């Protein structure tokens, strides 16, 4: 059992212009008090072939974390288009939401993102140079890929975690096993 369980992730302002900030409302529960903060990161994958184009959009520390339910909005600036190959701006890419405790990543939620022009004519006859102010991004929020990594949330106990990472590959598996319920207004 993990000390932190993400109960819901809602992507706010989806579909949006490429240059608009990202906003994720994240709800999670903590089953044991933690001595250190959680580190949440949002990473934009700029190229499927070369990770040097990946951009860390935001990294925030959240804490202290005691037993209970939590909710916050993670806001991040959009990726810098000048750090992405022109050929990779339009099309499908990935956005990663990760959470770590004491430098140990324990969950990664990946979303496909489709970037395309806001106009039929531009889609049919794309210009040689990308008109970034005409690009819309659409995050496929209903089909996340969730990967969990077992970590030791109590490192002072010197326990060694030897389980393999759990990975949910098929979207139908996510719906059955890891579906995040709609947000509750009671939290």
Residue 157: predicted pLDDT: 59
* Dihedral angle sign, alpha carbons of residues 167, 169, 175, 176: negative
pTM of the predicted protein model: 0.81
184 part of a folded domain: no
What is the number of domains present in the chain?
1
186 part of a folded domain: no
150 part of a folded domain: yes
151 part of a folded domain: yes
187 part of a folded domain: no
Q: What is the mean pLDDT of residues 92-106?
A: 96
CATH code for position 80? 2.60.40.1490
Residues spanned by the domain of 74: 4-178
183 part of a folded domain: no
Under the banding of pLDDT at 50, 70 and 90, the label for residue 120 is very high
Tell me the C-alpha distance between 145 and 133, whole Å: 29
* Per-residue 3-state assignment (H helix, E strand, C coil) for 58-69: EEEEECCECCEE
Percent of the chain residues past pLDDT 90, beyond the cut: 74
pLDDT 10s digits, 12-34: 999 999 999 999 999 999 999 99
- Report whether pLDDT(1) > 80: no
Residue 74: predicted pLDDT: 97
Residue 57: predicted pLDDT: 98
Q: What is the mean pLDDT of residues 160-185?
A: 39
């Amino acid at each position: 059992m993990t000390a932190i369980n993400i109960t819901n992730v809602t992507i706010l302002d989806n579909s949006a212009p490429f240059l608009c900030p990202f906003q994720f409302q994240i709800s999670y529960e903590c089953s044991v008090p933690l001595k250190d903060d959680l580190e949440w990161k949002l990473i934009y994958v700029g190229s499927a072939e070369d990770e040097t184009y990946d951009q860390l959009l935001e990294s925030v520390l959240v804490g202290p974390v005691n037993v209970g339910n939590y909710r916050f909005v993670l806001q991040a600036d959009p990726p810098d288009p000048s750090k992405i190959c022109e050929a990779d701006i339009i099309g499908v890419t990935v956005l990663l939401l990760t959470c770590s405790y004491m430098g140990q990543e324990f969950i990664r939620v990946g979303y496909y993102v489709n970037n395309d022009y806001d106009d039929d004519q531009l889609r049919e006859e794309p210009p040689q140079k990308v008109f970034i102010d005409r690009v819309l991004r659409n995050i496929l929020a209903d089909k996340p890929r969730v990967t969990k990594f077992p970590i030791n949330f109590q490192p002072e106990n010197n326990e060694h975690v030897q389980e393999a990472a759990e990975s949910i590959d098929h979207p139908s598996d996510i719906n059955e096993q890891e579906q995040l319920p709609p947000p509750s207004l009671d939290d």
